[in-house]
C-alpha cells in the first residue's frame, strides 16, 4: 500500500461519527491511490484522562459553541441533526470492547456497519447503547444470532478484551492523542504524522499526496 490511515474512534464522540462516515464514503477513492483505512475502537475517557484534556461539554464556552458546530457538521456530512440524549455522556467501555471483538471475528464491512449503528442508535434514536440489553437489541438488528450476541457480550467482560481496549487507547496516547477522532497516517515515503478532528482531511490528503478538490469560493457571475 502507498499509505495508511489508522483512525482511533469512540462511539461517544460525534466527531468520530462524522469522520468514520467520511472515510467510508471515500474508501474506494483512497484505495485507488493505494491508501488503506483501518478503524480502531478506543476509550475516549481514557484518552482525556491520560492527556489531561477536558471534554467540550465540561467547559461552558465550548459547550455553548458545540450546538452551532454540531448543526453545521451534520449538514456538511449529510446526517440527520444530532440531539444530545439525556443520558449523555455514556460510559462507552462495553460497546467499544464489543466492537474490538467483532472486528477480530467478522468481515470488515459487518464490523464497520455495526460500529456506525452505535452512533445512529444513540444520537438519532435516543437509545443508551452502553446498557447490555440495548446493545443486544442493536446486534440482533444486524442479524447476529442469539449465540453470537452472547459470545460478543461475554467477550466484552473478559480480560482479553479489557486489555485490548486499554492497549488501543494507550497506543493513541503514545502517539500524542488528546481526543477523538485521532489519526495516525503513514505516507508513501514511510513517514508518519498525527492528525486530529473531522475537519483536517485536506491537510491529510496533502500529506498523502492525494489529488483533491478543496473548498473553493465560486465568484458571483456579473450580470
Active site residues: 13
**Residue given cell 493505494 in the structure block:** 34
Cα 143 off chain centre by: 22
* Cβ atoms of 181 and 13 closer than 8 Å: yes
Ordered DSSP codes for 9-66: E-TT-HHHHHHHHHHHHTHHHHHHTTEEEEEEE--HHHHHHHHT---GGGSHHHHHHH
Respond yes or no on whether the N-terminal peptide bond of residue 10 is cis (omega within 30° of 0).
no
**Residue given cell 459547550 in the structure block:** 63
Sign of CA dihedral 91, 97, 100, 102: negative
Amino acid at each position: 500500500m502507498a499509505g495508511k490511515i489508522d483512525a482511533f474512534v469512540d462511539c461517544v464522540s460525534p466527531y468520530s461519527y462524522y469522520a468514520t462516515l467520511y472515510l467510508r464514503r471515500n474508501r474506494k477513492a483512497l484505495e485507488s491511490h493505494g491508501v488503506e483505512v483501518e478503524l480502531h475502537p478506543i476509550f475516549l475517557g481514557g484518552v482525556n484522562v491520560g492527556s489531561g484534556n477536558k471534554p467540550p461539554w465540561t467547559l461552558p464556552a465550548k459547550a455553548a459553541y458545540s450546538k452551532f458546530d454540531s448543526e453545521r457538521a451534520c449538514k456538511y456530512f449529510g446526517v440527520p441533526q444530532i440531539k444530545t440524549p439525556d443520558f449523555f455522556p455514556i460510559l462507552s467501555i462495553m460497546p467499544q470492547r464489543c466492537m474490538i471483538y467483532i472486528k477480530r471475528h467478522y468481515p470488515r464491512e459487518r464490523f464497520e456497519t455495526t460500529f456506525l449503528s452505535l452512533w445512529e442508535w444513540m444520537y438519532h434514536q435516543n437509545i443508551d447503547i452502553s446498557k447490555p440489553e440495548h446493545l443486544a437489541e442493536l446486534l440482533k438488528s444486524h442479524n447476529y444470532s442469539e449465540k453470537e450476541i452472547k459470545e460478543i457480550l461475554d467477550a466484552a467482560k473478559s480480560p482479553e478484551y479489557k486489555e485490548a481496549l486499554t492497549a488501543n487507547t494507550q497506543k493513541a496516547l503514545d502517539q500524542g492523542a488528546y481526543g477523538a477522532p485521532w489519526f495516525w497516517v503513514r505516507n508513501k515515503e514511510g513517514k508518519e504524522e498525527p492528525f486530529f478532528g473531522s475537519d483536517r482531511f485536506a491537510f491529510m490528503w496533502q500529506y498523502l499526496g492525494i489529488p483533491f478538490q478543496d473548498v473553493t469560493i465560486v465568484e458571483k457571475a456579473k450580470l
